[in-house]
Structure 1
């Protein structure tokens, strides 16, 4: 049960961090390169397609890493 909780916690934290990290990268890169999104299509693509996909990948990776780390620990 302890490993399952760590896996779920790692997945949730990984999804949130991956999503907001992708959005942050888009905002910083658009500001850095001084681009202007006329109709908002690029921002919507990042917000609704790219960031959720990256968030899921980060969530799965974080869940596996947290699960392996929790399973490796010994109970006191």
Structure 2
């Protein structure tokens, strides 16, 4: 299922890493994943129950398994 966030919210959300780059919906491997991907570092943040989990500890590393399925949900 694709992430459905308010456009204004998506516009102000940013990666919590020091780069603070904008996020885009989906993951590199699945543009319809329930996740947000940093446009700078490539970390993938899961979206659970419509809420973005913007914690670096919860993010999938670039080139690794995406954070959208890290907890099996």
TM-score normalized by the length of structure 2: 0.21
User: Between Structure 1 and Structure 2, which shows a larger proportion of strand residues?
Assistant: 2
RCO higher in 1 or 2 (8 Å CA, sep ≥ 6)?
1
More helix by share: 1
Question: Whose radius of gyration is greater, 1 or 2?
Answer: 1
